Structure 1
Amino acid sequence: MENTMFNRSHHTSGPTSQFKFELLKQITNNFSEDRIIGSGAYGVVYKGVLDNGENIAVKKLINRPLDHDSEKQFHNECINLMRVHHPNIVRLVGYCDETRRRCIEHDGIYVFAEENERALCFEFLEGGSLDKHVSDEPCRLDWDTCYNIIKGVCHGLNHLHNGYKDSIFHFDLKPANILLDNTMIPKIGDFGLSRLFSTTGTCTTTTPLGTIGYTPQEYVDKQEISPKFDVFSLGGVILHIMAGRKHYYDHVDTPSKIIELVCEIWGKRLHATIWSHASKEVKTCIEIALRCVKSDRHERPTISMIVNDLNRNDIAKFPLTYEWRV
């Protein structure tokens, strides 16, 4: 059975445009507060409306003189997203990178100084972020929606790790960076910390990465990074969807208890006839998540192994449909 989340009609990849800063001011009503739809450490996101009526999300980076981290974030996100085209990864519509000279007063004299204006423009996703559906309790969305979100994020991450000669590691996968369209199809966003690597090995970094709760122990202790960094983060996302933060942190050292609790929670939510086929999906997903957050990175699966597990689960569910498609 073909899932609609992988239908190309949901993801059109056109050319990436270079926008003038003055145009971005116009379409966001001069970056007015009532157009703000999100914010972070490096910028504020505004809703913009193009002349053709298309809504876009405009991420205006905070302009700090000599802020090399902000510049690096901009380049990482822009360059990495320009090469990625996948239905479960947010689409980059365009960018703005302008340097202007302004005459300002400094220590009693007038001097010319450079001012950088940088922005990234993305497809506008009406569903907002997954973060608003995740709390101390399990996600309140219905199971089919949760399952499709989990699968979509896994397929998007698999494309980043294995879709190109040089793997793209996200390094900040969390519910706030998973966006949803109006049909609840998930798209991985915010690539400011992403990196390109041509190796599957491990290296160390002094650059701050990730978010507390979604970063693996080897990075916390020794600043080691590898593909298993993103896998750990994925496990945290799945666990927080299925179990909620409270159940996860209360029973993080007893995986069997988490499996039991999750099956009990979703079993009570679903009608008996639905639970009869959904129970395998629930158990498969929670077991995958618990493998992802293993403290020893060597015991975590690769993202391709995770996708294979999910595909096998769907083939078992719809054997005749998959046989016909082959």
Structure 2
Amino acid sequence: MEDDLHDASVMPRDLTFHFLQHITKKFSNDRIIGHGGYGVVYKGVLDNGREIAVKKLYPKHPEIDDDKQFKNECINLMRVQHQNVVRLLGYCHEISHKIWPYDGKYVLAEVEERALCFEFLPGASLDKHLSDESSGLGWHARYKIIKGISEGLHYLHNGSKDPIYHLDLKPANILLDKSMMAKIGDFGLSRLVDSTKTITTKDIRGTPGYMPPEYIDRYKITAKFDVFSLGVIIIQIMAGREGYSRCGDMSSQEFINLVHHDWLKTRLTTMSSRTTHEVKICIKIALRCVEADRVKRPTIAEIIDELNKIDTVNRSLIDQVTYSRSKQEFD
């Protein structure tokens, strides 16, 4: 079974709570690697030494339908398999009855345990890598993360007949592997939708700062919800944690010039003219994504087209350099 957990061709497994206790040392505090809105994430170590992430959901809240979050994340992730989406390895939903002391008596109480198991990603979440300083991740790593998130979102929106809207994209829900490849995680608020419809919800659930105005003001959900969140994330990747609030105080062109100037100032000795062009393109994409009018925002497919043009230009330049060097060696 342990080998099956890491086999991409095998469907996520139904796991026992006893097994999860075993691999997490009974969910000990020293195995905690993160906290989410709906549970605590632990590192699980299998008997063969491989590692997985185990998200143990919080006990049910009487006023919140948190079973919906569990079902959303489990069922929606069952449908997806993409290098930029965190892979679901298994799940656990067990109900047992135990005798507990209560008010001087013993009572039979129902105990419900819910957990989800994912591939373990040693790079932690993106929010751990963001800062307000221009130092830290270089442009190549940042661009790779931007492209990876965009590819994952493109797959969710267009990879099957029924799109999946994530609805809670933020740096804490973007996980990184050892090579800094970005993977979208935490699908607790995600929805499988009919792409022809605009959804109207009854309440606001999500993370302030990443929700578009039409959702906050009119409870409207479309594919442009995730695009808005992506724009905020790209701005933070390029201009630090406070980047989005800074861009609200100036025109688009002023912000583009500011971020471009910051990158030139700190990376002058290492940034090529091609890189500065890439920086400008990504800032422009991000600013279009956070337009207040959702109609003006690009689709994720249009964003991928623009990023692919950057890659095409880069491949062409690399081919030219390779050809030039080969020609010099031949001559």
* CA deviation map 1:4-29 (0-9, x unaligned): xxxxxx99453311111011111101
Q: Which residue of 1 aligns with 2:76?
A: 80
For 2:40, which of 44, 50, 60 is the aligned residue? Answer: 44
Note the C-alpha offset of 1:320.
7.7
Question: Residues 265 and 200 (structure 1 numbering): CA distance in 2 closer, same or farther, change over 3 Å?
Answer: farther
Q: Secondary structure at the match of 1:201?
A: coil
- TM-score (norm: length of structure 1): 0.90
Cα separation, 2, equivalents of 1:207 and 1:13: 38
| Structure 1 letter corresponding to 2:214 | E
1:124 matched to 2:120: yes
Cα separation, 2, equivalents of 1:321 and 1:228: 35
Answer yes or no: is the 8 Å Cα contact 2:204–2:215 preserved in 1: no
Q: Secondary structure at the match of 2:83?
A: coil
Structure number with bigger Rg: 2
Cα separation, 2, equivalents of 1:213 and 1:43: 22
Q: Secondary structure at the match of 1:318?
A: helix
Answer yes or no: is the 8 Å Cα contact 2:33–2:42 preserved in 1: yes
**Range 287-296 or range 241-250, more displaced:** 241-250
**What's the C-alpha RMSD, in Å, of the aligned pairs?**
2.2
Q: Which residue of 1 aligns with 2:29?
A: 33
Note the C-alpha offset of 1:271.
4.3
Note the C-alpha offset of 1:102.
2.0
Identity %: 55
Q: Which residue of 2 aligns with 1:194?
A: 190
For 2:283, which of 286, 289, 292 is the aligned residue? Answer: 286
* CA deviation map 1:261-297 (0-9, x unaligned): 1111122233456321101211111000000000000
Cα separation, 1, equivalents of 2:243 and 2:35: 29
1:213 matched to 2:202: no
Q: Which residue of 2 aligns with 1:319?
A: 316
For 1:174, which of 163, 170, 174 is the aligned residue? Answer: 170
Answer yes or no: is the 8 Å Cα contact 2:54–2:115 preserved in 1: yes
Cα separation, 2, equivalents of 1:148 and 1:247: 19
> Following superposition of structure 1 onto structure 2, how do residues 147-166 of structure 1 map, counting pairs within 5 Å?
147-166=143-162
**Range 193-202 or range 85-94, more displaced:** 193-202
Answer yes or no: is the 8 Å Cα contact 2:129–2:137 preserved in 1: yes
Note the C-alpha offset of 1:136.
3.3
Question: Residues 302 and 200 (structure 1 numbering): CA distance in 2 closer, same or farther, change over 3 Å?
Answer: farther
Q: Which residue of 1 aligns with 2:3?
A: none
For 2:256, which of 246, 249, 259 is the aligned residue? Answer: 259
Answer yes or no: is the 8 Å Cα contact 1:216–1:229 preserved in 2: yes
| Structure 2 letter corresponding to 1:245 | R
1:24 matched to 2:32: no
Cα separation, 1, equivalents of 2:8 and 2:239: 34
Note the C-alpha offset of 1:104.
3.7
Q: Which residue of 2 aligns with 1:298?
A: 295
Q: Which residue of 2 aligns with 1:277?
A: 274
- TM-score (norm: length of structure 2): 0.89
Q: Which residue of 1 aligns with 2:322?
A: none
Answer yes or no: is the 8 Å Cα contact 2:134–2:266 preserved in 1: no
Cα separation, 2, equivalents of 1:203 and 1:131: 29
| Structure 2 letter corresponding to 1:306 | I
**Range 139-148 or range 59-68, more displaced:** 59-68
Q: Secondary structure at the match of 1:165?
A: coil
| Structure 1 letter corresponding to 2:173 | N
* CA deviation map 1:5-64 (0-9, x unaligned): xxxxx9945331111101111110110000000012311000000112110010000112
